[in-house]
Amino acid sequence: MTAEPATTAADNIAHYPGAARERLLLAASDLFCRYGINATGVDAIVAAAGTAKTTLYKAFGSKEGLIEAVLEREGSTWREWFSAEVDALPGSASDRLVHLFDVLKKWFAEENFYGCPFINAVGEHDKEDDRIRLLTLKHKKIVLGKITELARDARPDDPDGLTHELNLLIDGAIVAALITRDPNVADHGRNAAARLMANG
């Protein structure tokens, strides 16, 4: 079953401003996150974006090409936001690593929070197909790099270990928030991170 847009193409052109390529990216991102990649057909995407199928194929080559472009865009936008929010946190490196879960809580509380697009995409795709997995690993590497910057100060003898321990808490909180629709799961992640930091 494919997801069909609830509004008309004309309405969505206003909702997704910009050139056709931009509208396709915005529409696909919204539909993929809301309904799932496999449940969203090309017809639904072009209807929501107010474009023709030929425009989609000319811009992205295929639905798979569009999926990859959406993930690249979503990842870049999210990482920029996350990095700025973490940089704005007060306190020591340890304090900021604990309170990055407060940053996640803001994300979880957004009306259009549908989980991590990368985790969702890997879950939906053929596990033998490395394209989405490699895009996800690229995204994760950049996010982990941001955490490692702080982990070097918080646990100088084992920053990589701390980074991966926190990453497990982060991924768990993201999935739990998606399932429960409760942004307060981030508080449990923050408490677990605080105990992790206290125990060294």
* Domain CATH number, residue 162: 1.10.357.10
Taking residue 135's Cβ as centre, other Cβ atoms within 10 Å add up to 18
What confidence score (pLDDT) does residue 127 get? Answer: 83
Cβ partners under 8 Å of residue 20, min gap 6: 49, 51, 55, 59
Please tell me whether residues 47 and 125 are part of one structural domain.
Answer: no
Q: What is the pLDDT of residues 165-175, one digit of tens each?
A: 999 999 999 99
Domain that holds residue 25: 9-61
Regarding whether 76 and 53 lie in a shared domain, the answer is no
**How far apart are the C-alpha atoms of 135 and 127, rounded to whole Å?**
13
What pLDDT score was predicted for residue 10? 38
User: Is pLDDT above 50 for 8?
Assistant: no
Residue 13 placed within a domain = yes
Domain match, 85 and 181 both: yes
Buried b (16+ CB within 10 A) or exposed e, 97-110: bbbbbbbbbebbee
Q: How confident is the model at residue 160 (pLDDT cuts 50, 70, 90)?
A: very high
175 and 156 fall within a common domain: yes
Same domain, 81 and 142: yes
> Are 57 and 108 in the same domain?
no
Residue 4 lies in a domain: no
Instruction: Tell which residue, 119, 117, 97, 101, has the closest CA to residue 183.
Output: 101
Residue 17 pLDDT class (50, 70, 90 cuts): low
15 domain residue, yes or no: yes
pLDDT in the model for residue 116: 97
57 lies in the same domain as 85? no
Max Cα separation, the chain?
58
Pairwise pLDDT comparison (12 vs 185), residue with the higher score: 185
pTM, full prediction: 0.88
Residues 71, 44, single domain; the answer is no
Do 16 and 89 reside in the same domain of the chain? Answer: no
Tell me how many domains the chain contains.
2
For residue 140, count other CB atoms closer than 10 A to its CB: 17
Instruction: Output the average pLDDT for the chain.
Output: 91
Burial class from Cβ neighbours inside 10 Å (0-12, 13-18, 19+) for residue 127 reads exposed
Taking only the tens place, the pLDDT of each residue in 32-65 is: 999 999 999 999 999 999 999 999 999 999 999 9
Does residue 72 lie in a domain region? yes
* Residue 96's pLDDT band (cuts 50, 70, 90): very high
Confidence (pLDDT) at 15: 59
